[in-house]
């Protein structure tokens, strides 16, 4: 074999190698993805964009939920796939914008696990790739120094916070994403479900938050805020985490998707790095299920696109969640993946504990979004001491009812 032949052979070998690598992800039509922007979703988007043969566009932004419905309403739809969570899929389902995926799953879904298939009315409507839940994060060093147990209930949390404050270790030892609006409403949802509340009267869109569970949930939230930074109504997840990282907070209920990066960003003090620990979500009021909600993130495929585009999108999105990715340690750490081959790291224990202890999933009813908005706008009045819990909850129900009447859910 002379040099020329050798060169030729290696060129062929290389070409063969590249085709086989690409064969896994060769697409024949455009793909356009809309979704949130946190690291795990960036990974999925990047995986989908590796596909060759046609253009793959992605728009990953925190404002995704404001543009995904208009972006999928056209025919053809601008976005062929929306990365959603159990709260945001409802808006797409309400408008009938996503297609059943059963045939595509049968054709290309051999790598999927049964738990990844989101089935609604017997049809696969979304492919989930990660789970999320709010759970406890705490400073084991602070608790150990004072001889305190890791709180299992919110009542324990209050007792521990009292000791921490009285011993002068921290002034405001509890953290929480209590920013007025979506975050505050979500914290209420947790507590309300923990007290055994149901948002709607059975089988209807009539609200039922103004009751015993609602008042108890608000009272508990108010007690917790007494141990929080006085600016708590302006603190979203980012601001709350900043307080925790700066060592000002010892106990907080935080999203599992933030667990892995909690101590790895810049500016985390060594004390916090060493003391950081996580545990499952807490219960409240002697309840048996945790005061938290279980979430999943997944992707959907638009209805108003051609079958070829749907097929290309499915292939590309499958490439974004291929089991091989789980071998990458950095990627595996980004989330609690539902993908085959995922080895849970220590930061995933909170979410798994949440699932094991029977945490309810965030309600997937068409009018939950309206309830969430009404809660977010009205609850701050009670926490500021402007009105009673009953009055606040009556306002929530009135605001929700006005919105639900407009949207045609109530007469």
Partner 1 sequence: MQHRTFFWFFFPTAAAMLLFIALPIVSVFLQSVFAPHEAVLVEVESCTPLVGCTTETQVDHDATTELRSNQPLGRFVGLDIYLDRGHLAVNEIAAAWQATDSMGDFISKVHNLPLYRALSFTLTFTFLVTPLLIIFGLMIALAVNSLHRHLKGLMIFFSLLPMIVTPLIGSLILFWMVDSRGVVGSALVALAGDPDFSMKASTGLTWVMLIIYGVWHSAPFAFVVFYAGLQTLPQDQLESAMIDGATRWQRVKYVVIPHLMPLVTFVALIQLMDNFRVFEPIVGFNASAHATSLSWIIFNDLGGETRQLSAASASSVLTILGVAILLTPVLIRTWRDFNAKS
Binding residues for partner 1, rule: CB under 8 A, are: 65-66, 69, 86-88, 90-91, 93-94, 96, 115-122, 128, 131, 171, 179-181, 203, 205, 229-234, 236, 294, 296, 338, 355, 360-361, 363-370, 372-373, 377, 380-381, 383-384, 387, 391, 395, 398-399, 401-403, 405-409, 411
Q: How far is the CB of 370 from partner 1 (least distance, A)?
A: 5
Contact 124, 102 (CB under 8 A): yes
Q: How far is the CB of 226 from partner 1 (least distance, A)?
A: 11
- Alpha carbon distance 230, 278 (integer Å): 25
Q: Hey, which residues does 59 pair with through a beta bridge?
A: 34
Of the candidates 118, 247, 61, the residue with the CA atom closest to the CA atom of residue 171: 247
Q: Which is nearer to partner 1, 139 or 372 (CB)?
A: 372
Q: Which is nearer to partner 1, 22 or 265 (CB)?
A: 265
Contact 56, 48 (CB under 8 A): yes
Q: Which is nearer to partner 1, 148 or 393 (CB)?
A: 393
Q: Which is nearer to partner 1, 219 or 361 (CB)?
A: 361
- The DSSP code sequence of 107-133 is HH-TT--GGGEEEETTEEEEEEEEEEE
Q: Strand (E) positions, 279-406?
A: 294-301, 336-337
- Residue 254's H or E segment, with its range, is strand 251-255
User: Taking the mean position of all CA atoms in its chain, how far away is CA 271?
Assistant: 28
Q: How far is the CB of 139 from partner 1 (least distance, A)?
A: 19
Q: How far is the CB of 288 from partner 1 (least distance, A)?
A: 16
Sign of the dihedral defined by the CA atoms of residues 249, 252, 254, 260, in that order? positive
Q: Which is nearer to partner 1, 150 or 375 (CB)?
A: 375
- Alpha carbon distance 341, 339 (integer Å): 6
Q: Which is nearer to partner 1, 54 or 394 (CB)?
A: 394
In Å, what is the CA distance from 341 to each residue of 96, 306, 320, 326, 351? 33, 33, 15, 6, 17
Q: How far is the CB of 282 from partner 1 (least distance, A)?
A: 18
Residue linked to tokens 């795990």? 40
Q: How far is the CB of 10 from partner 1 (least distance, A)?
A: 46
Buried-exposed string 191-211: b where 16+ CB fall within 10 A, e elsewhere: bbbbbebebbeeeebebbbbe
Residue linked to tokens 């620990």? 277
Q: Which is nearer to partner 1, 37 or 236 (CB)?
A: 236
Q: How far is the CB of 248 from partner 1 (least distance, A)?
A: 9
Of the candidates 263, 273, 318, the residue with the CA atom closest to the CA atom of residue 127: 318
List the structure tokens of 360.
């309810």
- Alpha carbon distance 26, 67 (integer Å): 28
Q: Is 319 helix (H, G, I), strand (E, B) or coil?
A: helix
Q: Which is nearer to partner 1, 47 or 298 (CB)?
A: 298
Q: Which is nearer to partner 1, 151 or 197 (CB)?
A: 197
Q: How far is the CB of 213 from partner 1 (least distance, A)?
A: 19
Q: How far is the CB of 72 from partner 1 (least distance, A)?
A: 13
Q: How far is the CB of 96 from partner 1 (least distance, A)?
A: 4
Q: Which is nearer to partner 1, 46 or 377 (CB)?
A: 377
Q: How far is the CB of 208 from partner 1 (least distance, A)?
A: 14
Contact 250, 202 (CB under 8 A): no
Q: Which is nearer to partner 1, 172 or 283 (CB)?
A: 172
Backbone dihedral region for residue 323 (phi beyond 0: left; psi -120 to 50: alpha; all else: beta): alpha
């Amino acid at each position: 074999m002379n040099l020329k032949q050798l060169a030729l052979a290696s060129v062929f070998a290389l070409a063969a190698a590249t085709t086989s690598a690409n064969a896994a992800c060769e697409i024949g039509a455009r793909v356009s993805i809309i979704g949130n922007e946190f690291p795990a979703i960036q990974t999925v988007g990047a995986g989908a964009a590796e596909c060759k043969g046609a253009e793959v566009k992605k728009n990953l932004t925190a404002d995704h939920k404001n543009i995904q419905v208009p972006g999928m309403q056209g025919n053809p739809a601008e976005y062929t796939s929306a990365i959603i969570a159990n709260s945001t899929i409802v808006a797409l389902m309400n408008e009938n914008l996503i297609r059943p995926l059963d045939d595509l799953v049968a054709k290309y879904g051999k790598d999927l696990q049964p738990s990844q298939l989101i089935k609604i009315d017997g049809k696969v409507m979304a492919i989930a790739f990660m789970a999320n839940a709010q759970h406890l994060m705490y400073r084991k060093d602070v608790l150990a120094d004072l001889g305190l147990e890791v709180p299992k209930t919110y009542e324990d949390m209050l007792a521990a916070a009292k000791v921490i404050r009285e011993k002068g270790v921290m002034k405001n030892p509890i953290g929480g994403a209590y920013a007025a609006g979506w975050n505050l409403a979500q914290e209420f949802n947790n507590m309300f479900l923990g007290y055994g509340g149901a948002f709607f009267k059975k089988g209807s869109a009539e609200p039922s938050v103004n009751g015993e569970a609602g008042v108890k949930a608000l009272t508990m939230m108010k007690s917790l805020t007494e141990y929080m930074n006085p600016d708590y109504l302006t603190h979203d997840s980012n601001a709350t985490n900043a307080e925790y990282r700066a060592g000002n907070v010892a106990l907080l209920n935080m999203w599992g998707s933030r667990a892995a990066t909690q101590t790895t960003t810049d500016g985390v003090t060594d004390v916090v790095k060493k003391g950081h620990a996580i545990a499952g979500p807490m219960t409240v009021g002697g309840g048996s299920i945790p005061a938290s909600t279980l979430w999943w993130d997944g992707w959907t495929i638009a209805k108003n696109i051609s079958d070829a585009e749907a097929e290309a999108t499915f292939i590309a999105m499958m490439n974004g969640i291929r089991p091989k990715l789980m071998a990458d340690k950095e990627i595996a750490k980004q989330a609690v993946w539902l993908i085959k081959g995922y080895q849970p790291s220590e930061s995933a224990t909170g979410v798994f504990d949440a699932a094991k202890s029977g945490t309810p999933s965030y309600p997937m009813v068409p009018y939950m979004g309206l309830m969430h908005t009404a809660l977010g706008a009205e609850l701050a009045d009670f926490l500021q001491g402007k009105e009673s819990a009953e009055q606040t909850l009556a306002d929530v129900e009135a605001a929700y009812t006005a919105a639900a009447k407009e949207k045609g859910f109530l007469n």
